[in-house]
Amino acid sequence: MAKGSTFEREICTELSLWWSNGKRDDIFWRHDSGSRAKGRSRKGKKTFGAYGDLKATDPIGLPLTNITTIEMKRGYKNWSFLDVLDHPPKQWNQEQRTKQIFETFVEQVVEDAETANTYPVIIAKRDKRQKIIVLPEELFWLLEDVFGRYEGFTISMTTSEYIKRNFIALNFGLFLKWCKPSYFINYNKKKRRKK
């Protein structure tokens, strides 16, 4: 899908500039296909650096891709977080309701992230809207511990039949201003402190 490919290239450039403090636009690039890694993981095999849509093309970007698995979603029509909340009423009585588009995004990135032992992250854009980033709740809290309160609007999503962990959605542009690459570069796997 051309729209998705253009979006993925745009995000890779933005993340490269963010990572290098505006000096380089070539640290990250998109995977041509994650199907090899997914197929191998279903056989119990790992494939280094092949999960999600984003890869580090320079080793200086590895701290980000070693900690997160990023899926980039663009070109899907008429989806919203609200679909999970306000799906058609007849589906409430079914044992298994229809999976919503956003839930398919989450399932895909969670499967890859669990295989890679990373945080699942989604960067998405709807037509004529701003870009968003969706982080697991525990990663968002770790970032708030380091960078202070995020001042933008957030949407929290708790588990559903298809989403098995809590997520928080933020504006992507505001996220890049708030969060610094230093967090990922200096990351250690300590649990978030209790508040």
For residue range 37-67, list pLDDT tens digits in order. Answer: 555 556 555 555 568 899 999 999 999 999 9
Kindly list the distances between the CA atom of residue 23 and the CA atoms of 12, 14, 17, 27, in Å, as whole numbers in the listed order.
14, 11, 6, 10
Whole-prediction pTM: 0.84
Q: Cα separation of 52 and 35, whole Å?
A: 10
Q: Which of 82-86, 87-91, 185-189 has the lowest mean pLDDT?
A: 87-91
pLDDT at 149 over 90: yes
Higher local confidence (pLDDT), 51 or 21: 21
Query: What is the C-alpha separation between 1 and 158, in angstroms, rounded?
Result: 30
Interatomic CA distance for residues 123 and 15, integer angstroms: 11
Cα separation, 51 vs 7, in Å, equals 18
Q: What is the predicted pLDDT for the residue at 56? A: 95
SS3 state of residue 141? helix
Q: Where are the alpha helices (DSSP H) in 50-133?
A: 62-67, 82-85, 101-116
Q: Which H or E run includes 42?
A: none
Q: What is the mean pLDDT of residues 109-127?
A: 93
